[in-house]
Amino acid sequence: MSEYIKATSPTRDKPILAYKIGDSLYLNITNRCSNTCIFCPKFEDYNLLGNDLFLEVEPTFEEVMAAIDEPTGIAEIVFCGFGESLIRLDLVIRIAREIKRTFGYPIRINTDGQANLFHGRNIIPELTGLVDSISVSLNASDAASYLQLSNTPFGLDGFRGICNFIIDAKKEIPIVIASVVNVHGDDLDACRKIAESLGVLFKVREFK
């Protein structure tokens, strides 16, 4: 697994654990990742659209719920920061359960899709009924390209792991999206075909 990497970040008193973009409230619960993607902006700067997402210490359940507070004017709550939320699976489940109980907002997870490999089991059933949509960073159309872009510690198995994760997610989670960062335009059509073959939606994200 990648180390908890420190990058340039302004010092501040309080970490940003929840931040709003559009009508989504995003939760920032870890900077750890199961990948080390070569295009990831966090290795230079943790700033995302004016939000400094660097975490000196990972937050507790209570701290995240306090940051969520009583949100208004949002359509969904999304687990997504400069880290892989599903590394902290127990916390995701606990927060998602509390959000559903208290507010009822739809919940999305943006993920690198390595959680089943990371935890060594199929974790999707643990998200059933809590997570409404999941966006998985596919990012490549074959195992070698994926390894080159993501530096996955699972080697050439990493790409197959993502595809299997998407297949498992489709069985339990209402909306599953395979996404690609637009840093290698010539692969986009091939990635779209992989998403179609897996029977999920396809989305191209612009590179920051």
Contact residues for ligand SF4, defined by CB under 6 A: 33, 35-37, 40, 42, 82-84, 112
User: Which C-beta is closer to ligand SF4: that of 34 or that of 141?
Assistant: 34
DSSP string, 69-91: -S--S-SEEEE-BSB-GGGGHHH
- Residue whose CB is less far from ligand SF4, 45 or 98: 45
Q: In the complex with ligand SF4, which residue's Cβ is closer, 32 or 127?
A: 32
Q: How far is the CB of 59 from ligand SF4 (least distance, A)?
A: 17
Distances (CA, A) of 149 to 121, 124, 142, 159, 161: 24, 25, 11, 11, 15
Question: What letter does residue 41 receive in the DSSP assignment?
Answer: G
In this structure, what are the phi and psi dihedrals at residue 50, rounded to the nearest 5 degrees?
90, 0
Report the nearest approach of ligand SF4 to the CB of residue 100 (Å): 25
CB of 112 to ligand SF4, least distance (A): 4
Between the CA of residue 98 and those of 4, 76, 185, what are the distances in Å? 27, 14, 40
Least distance (Å) from ligand SF4 to the CB of residue 36? 5
The rounded distance, in Å, linking the Cα atoms of 139 and 37 is 10
